[in-house]
Structure 1
């Protein structure tokens, strides 16, 4: 089986054995254009604040380069591969023509930012998200409660409404508005599909329908037929066969024409199978540039700040709940780029360490609370439980004696406090969390994971794979190809987990309770309306940047 994980900066392909999930080979291809945040490729005009775009052909290059390389590394003949599955960051969404051609690839639209895929962390649609939320509350739309009471700037409808309001021509030219997970499957099998996961969590598709025409017309008269004209398509279940690999895609990948292509999926949701978190009450935290939290339940509950509660959204037959943090590894990376003095950089180089490793080593033995700091992990806004991308980061308690490693530790702790807030919100509102499994790149840091275990006051299991999402995509491919009858059975056979990989220290856990109380106080003060200072600062910044464009 081949699984492909399309991430924020690169795509990763793995080749695994269908019988037991044994990892046979892998390859990574970095997107040539990365994240487009300042100017379009080859252009000089600055993009609007909070823009995050990508280039569609970077995704195809993963098929052309990473898949053949992974196959060569595995040393297995191509004819032995019987299925391919993909996952994608979400909501990453793009406008296309009726045949799936991205508008960004049309010569007359190549200079128009809204013709490009909007990456999950494109937050410039916050005003449109607020508009959707306000109207849904006023009208008492029943689907709003399943999204924790707020619609995110990261999702399909907010981003599409932004296109309509800011570039109506691009909106009109978009015959389809499609998640990248479904678009890349279209590239593989030659026809359009829509998966239940992205439709439910990112597309406000509940109980078999999108928001109705009257609601959309109230947002904007020309938005009335958005769902009917640009989204509507039969919804496919996870683990289903989307189609067979086309001759063109076979030439790109080096795989046999006609093999099973699985229905697309969200990266974190695919990882649930690799992490064996397919039973109710087993939370998965996929930790990388951002963190996505997933947990299944047998019943529907209203949980504030969720990214969605979707029937069959993670595993068929269960209600899947999604929450998340928009910035985690991104926050740590920001600090190593901007907050590390020259002598620290020299020391790291002399020891052969990264800046992360040096800061972690210096901070590891510090007693909990010894730095006197508490931070808010909102450098990329808050996804859960506040659902507000107009918020920004805060560090409280700084003095002239504060050292870089102490700030770094406080930022790591802040992200752990954010996860604890999500876990406690689930439990308070009728969604039990029996245990937690972690996956993603940050699992490789004992420093980070030790803090999380202490803050959460519970042991953490860990996926025993460096490529959890790609393995999960391969597991879904195995089901689509008929190698396993269900995702649950495939997860048991192919998933890989280390139980109790990180365990809490009772003394540190007790000490973290005091810091968490301060975090919660600041969280509620800045995030729940006692002060709108962070929103005012964001408005001042955006107005200034817009005036200087």
Structure 2
């Protein structure tokens, strides 16, 4: 063991005191959710995100332009501002704010002082409006205009950022003893799980790396000379070095993917949970067994039945906005919808429509990149859904009309962190060399079926029309 690198979810910030201790780890704030890490999926800062967008459009410098031109409630500044406004105690006690992926390496190094803490280029660039062209974070004037509560906070944050191939320190004596390691072990800069997952999944030029799980994160890399001054609108940012150092990382994603299937499965489980569980003539062990086996088999049985539904009979259309829309063009206030139901619309047909909706949402992302001049030749998929559901992945290949390679690694994000750590320690000279030496390759590939792909083109147009209608109604 020569090096450790860490990835976490993000944007997942927390308020810290002068020593860099999260407020939730102090007795006074132990039970206060506002003092805890705010997970990426939290959407409570919708109003703050809207205000950031409105101010940016009218400011002399649009600080959202490298973030796709639309700031999201899932990101750093919106979450920070929301808590500062809603909790006086946290506001008064907070000295700084730290991303989870930056705090863990600092803990391992043994120095969480916010002034010394090394911040991730990945987190700062994609979620905190950091860019070298701005000289770092947005100006003090912009932040104070957004809300005077932000006055002075920038001085307690950061200006410099670190890519995943950079060292932030050595393992502290405390953690060396806990882990049974040497203090000569070096610690690398943190990054987000999806971005290091793309590294672990062996991302390459012109291939979109798609982490397919509860949600998705869709990433591409491009040489700086190819991107130039091009700004891709409506995505989650383009950041030099956020995935591979020396390359521009472009990020997009869907706010819900596997979570939509889980929602439908949970809904279908209602009779088991609420009716069968109350049948007194069944003993508790039998009820538990029915619940367990039904829950475990639900998605697999739905997939098997849905795969037998003739494509030409698909009358049901759904929207994948059940957790809002991340990209293209973030709008977390949007809601999901289902249309085209008949008395013959059974559970497999509705499930198939939901799977198709998630695939159409993926195609919207691909189309945005391609329309902005970013080339995509194929997909590299990783994550739970990619590994577990051939049914979903084949529909995704057909809808995208692109080949999909599935990374062999069961833990691509951890593997990406290990690759980064190997470069930090000097085991490999750079990330591509680490990918070549440590990559697990691909264990399956899905090719689009030309006939189904052609049919899905018309279904996709129906999906877009439905989306325009629903979005118009929600306004």
TM norm. shorter chain > 0.5: yes
CA contact (8 A) 1:241 1:262 kept: yes
Q: 1:397 aligns with which of 318, 340, 362?
A: 340
Instruction: State the 1:342 CA deviation.
Output: 4.7
Q: What does 1:147-546 align with in structure 2 at a 5 Å threshold?
A: 147-191=67-111, 192-207=117-132, 208-229=135-156, 231-277=157-203, 279-298=204-223, 299-300=227-228, 301-340=230-269, 342=271, 354-444=297-387, 445-498=389-442, 501-527=445-471, 530-532=472-474
* 1:426–1:140 CA distance, 2 compared to 1 (3 A): farther
Deviates more, 1:447-456 or 1:249-258: 249-258
Tell me, in whole angstroms, the C-alpha distance in 2 between the residues paired with 1:325 and 1:520: 15
Q: When the two structures are superposed, what TM-score results if normalisation uses the length of structure 1?
A: 0.78
CA contact (8 A) 1:200 1:206 kept: yes
Q: Alignment length, in residue pairs?
A: 449
Structure 2 unaligned spans of 5+: 112-116, 277-288
Say what the alpha-carbon RMSD is for the aligned residues. 2.1
SS at match of 2:473: coil
Structure 1 residue ranges (4+ consecutive) displaced by more than 6 angstroms after TM superposition: 343-352
Tell me, in whole angstroms, the C-alpha distance in 2 between the residues paired with 1:125 and 1:343: 36
Q: When the two structures are superposed, what TM-score results if normalisation uses the length of structure 2?
A: 0.90
Tell me, in whole angstroms, the C-alpha distance in 1 between the residues paired with 2:320 and 2:302: 18
Superimposed CA distance per residue, residues 99-118 of structure 1 (whole angstroms, 9 cap, x where no aligned partner): 22110122222333211110
Tell me, in whole angstroms, the C-alpha distance in 1 between the residues paired with 2:291 and 2:400: 30
Tell me, in whole angstroms, the C-alpha distance in 1 between the residues paired with 2:66 and 2:256: 23
Tell me, in whole angstroms, the C-alpha distance in 2 between the residues paired with 1:458 and 1:500: 14
SS at match of 1:122: coil
Deviates more, 1:354-363 or 1:109-118: 109-118
CA contact (8 A) 1:383 1:389 kept: yes
CA contact (8 A) 2:96 2:153 kept: no
CA contact (8 A) 1:369 1:512 kept: no
Instruction: State the 1:364 CA deviation.
Output: 1.3
* 1:356–1:251 CA distance, 2 compared to 1 (3 A): farther
Superimposed CA distance per residue, residues 465-505 of structure 1 (whole angstroms, 9 cap, x where no aligned partner): 01000000110011111100101111111122227611111
Tell me, in whole angstroms, the C-alpha distance in 2 between the residues paired with 1:151 and 1:195: 19
Q: What does 1:35-50 align with in structure 2 at a 5 Å threshold?
A: none
